[in-house]
Amino acid sequence: MLIVDTLEDDDYEIDEAEDGAEAYDYIQSKAYDLVLLDYMMPEMTGLEVIKKVREQGNHDVKIMMLTAKAQKKDEEIAKEAGADYFISKPFSPVELANVVGDILGE
């Protein structure tokens, strides 16, 4: 995946999940500085993952929602669920890597 390759090229440690349920399991098992989620994932949507993570009391991890949903209401829904950042597709992987660096203070 181009996003993963770009972030790994910038020396970020990446765990890639196949679906929302696996992403949730990863988040529960390890402390992450930042989690990138797609809004529309199989098994559990990114929105469902965010809600579940926040309901479990994990407010420390920063969560970025990546999505083809570009309407303002979609961003509002994601942020109300607990997303810290929201990026609409299309975006360049290099642009995303720059945003990740800014978020992580690098």
How do residues 8-50 score in pLDDT, each as one tens digit?
999 999 999 999 999 999 999 999 999 999 999 999 999 999 9
**% of the chain residues with pLDDT over 70:** 98
Please tell me the distance from the alpha carbon of residue 67 to that of residue 37, in angstroms, as a whole number. Answer: 8
Q: Is the dihedral of CA 50, 53, 58, 61 positive or negative?
A: negative
How far CA 29 is from CA of 4, 23, 25, 53, 101, in Å, comes to 20, 10, 6, 12, 24
**pTM for the predicted model, two decimal places:** 0.88
CA-CA distance, 52 to 73, in Å (whole number)? 20
What domains does the chain contain, in order, with CATH numbers? 2-101 (3.40.50.2300)
The closest alpha carbon to 34, from 2, 69, 1, 10, belongs to: 10
Query: So what's the pLDDT on residue 14?
Result: 94
Count of CB atoms within 10 A of residue 71's CB? 10
